Structure 1
Amino acid sequence: SGGRQSGSRFGGFSDFFETFFSGHGGNTDDPLVEAELDRLRREQRAPRRGQDSEHQLDVTLREAAEGSARTVQLSMSESCSTCQGTGLVKEGGGSGGTAVKTEVKTCPTCQGTGRQTRRRSLKVTIPKGVTEGSRIRVAGEGTAGPNGGSRGDLYLRVHLELEPGTEVRGR
């Protein structure tokens, strides 16, 4: 009871702010503090756009010259499906009379990071005439956004696979 358990007591900055200013984790008597707490709570839950991500795409000389469409396999960081990206899970710890004790613990799936690496298959169009270092944008296929936000964009950096003795001149 007296010692602190591993992991954070706070789910986010607003929880810390609330506990610090109220002294007991409940409501404060100051309307300005309450207004700020409400704003922080809404901000934490608001969906946000995910980050853009970049991966290398190996392209044959023929694909670069003629253009192509193919399916690529990518390992991408995604929001954890167990904790929905919070890094924390609630566990029922038994009951005491009619009340059920709930504990918040670090998510065992993502070890508290809120992220998981998953393999994804994407159909990609390689435009005709791409060159070494070109970037192909795949809109809405980047990293998933927190709190159900939209995905960022995926950028595929072209690397030309050349057969030994082959060189590319000009554009």
Structure 2
Amino acid sequence: KSGNSQYDGWETLGYLRVSDGAVTDFDQIEEEILEDCRRFQVTAVAYDPWQATQLAGRLSDKDIPMVEYRNTVQNMSDPMKWLEALVQDRRIAHDGDPALAWMIGNVVAKRDFKDNIFPRKEVYENKIDGAVALIMALGMCVNEETAGAFEEYESDSEVPFFSW
């Protein structure tokens, strides 16, 4: 476990799932993704192939719609800008998840000379995985291969565009 003193509380409240040992338990992750796919109408699961290719293959073999989404500036810049705009326009809401709020607060926008932005963290212990997953989800919403599956969620109304 990390030295973050809040982890135990987040685990107790159900905001964080913890596995035994210091190694990522991909079997546990697979089971939790399968459970989510049974509970929800999942149209695509984005994954970064870095350390997840085997897991993605196993899930794909079980008919889970896996879509490779590399963690590159090209894939992350526009969705990160959209997320920033949604936050500024107050068009995004979540259920008060303290772990997610902490991760989003840890994101620093790294800007390149072409005005692209990319999520970074300033301190190793400050995790940003939930924020990166959200950025990837926004990117999937406009991906040519999957955009049709998300059209029903687009709205110009006052209702938040994305809610969790």
Q: TM-score, normalising length from structure 1?
A: 0.20
The higher radius of gyration belongs to 1
